[in-house]
Amino acid sequence: MSLARIWRVLRKDLALGPRSPFFLWALVLPVGMTLLVQVAFGSLFEPVPRIGILDEGASAITASVAEMEGIVLERFDDAGDLRAAVEANDLDAGLILPAGFDDAVRAGEQPPLEFFIGGESYAANRIILSVTTIDLIREVEGSAAPVEVEVVSFGDEGLPISARLVPMVVFYALVMAGVFVPGSSLVEEKEHGTLMAMLVTPVRSREVMVAKWALGLLLATVMSVVTLMLNRAMGARPAEVILVVLVAGALTSMIGILAGVVAKDSTMFFGLVKGTGVLLFAPVIFYVFPDWPQWIAKLFPLYWVIEPIWQVSVMGASITTVWQELAIALGITVALIPITAFLARRMQAQMAGQ
């Protein structure tokens, strides 16, 4: 086996890759899905209270709100602009603090306070902003709150839906780049006759398979890392995340090569991938619905790479805690090598006999 010949085939695939729709989809789909998840689900299920303040006298309330985490503050210089922003539901609430408000409160007076609520604001946001404003006024006055609230959590803290969808987005990055790109590239080579043309040169069939596998590994790794970065899920150990993603790319690329070797044409390739799509996609569902029996997910091959990615990137675990899953994933990858090699030799024999 010649590394130089493998590199030439891989270099050719990288140069011609952008012409393939699957190559382009592998680049675009994970990014598009990330935008969908973060914009739609991130903002829909995790609404952040937004308040606008017109402060005419440098009140301590404005400074306190600005230092708070979990509340978005926007400052205004005109009461009309503030009211318009609340009416347009660009803000959940608006607050106007007249000049000398803090001194008047400390003196025991009751200065006017205008507080606007957006008609389409979430009830939770209304409560948060209203209670926060009242508490801050009490602090300025110097009086204690009438009650002290202690929040007690029962059970494990739930993850936001946007975080639970990270395995699904990474799954598509792995499958599009690791399965579709090398598999479809191999099938197109067979359909266009370029594969047979390469095999009559010193290039061997196993060298072509390795080059296609390396193409999928490279693209799957890069797109998975990019997807995790866009979803802010690289964790505290990015080097370990990359190592886990490399194992995932190796397995998915081997599955892609196997599908490409078996398929005689594009129609058969699509049918094969679509037919096995449920088996590939199934483990991802268990991260969206964590109450389901998790042992079922272990029956599917890609669980052994999705689970390490989930643990190391999203949950912040060490790679040492998922070494068994990674070992099984590598074992599946190695087990597919002789099967793929046997089918590749049979494919070459069939092509030579045509």
Q: Cβ–Cβ contacts within 10 Å for residue 53, how many? A: 21
On whether both 185 and 258 belong to a single domain, the answer is yes
Query: Is residue 238 one of the residues assigned to a domain?
Result: yes
- What range does the domain containing 107 cover? 47-141
pLDDT in tens, 237-295: 889 999 999 999 999 999 999 998 888 888 888 888 777 777 888 888 887 777 788 88
Query: Is residue 149 one of the residues assigned to a domain?
Result: no
On whether both 235 and 328 belong to a single domain, the answer is yes
The pLDDT of residue 329: 93
The pLDDT of residue 248: 93
DSSP reduced 3-state for 117: strand
CA–CA dist 337, 354 (Å, integer): 26
Per-residue buried b or exposed e for 309-346, using 16+ beta carbons within 10 Å of the residue's own CB = bbbbbbeebebeebeebbebbeebbeebeeebeebbee
Of 109, 141, 173, the residue at which a domain comes to its end is: 141
The pLDDT of residue 155: 41
On whether both 267 and 171 belong to a single domain, the answer is yes
On whether both 54 and 114 belong to a single domain, the answer is yes
On whether both 197 and 120 belong to a single domain, the answer is no
The pLDDT of residue 324: 93
**Full-prediction pTM beyond 0.85?**
no
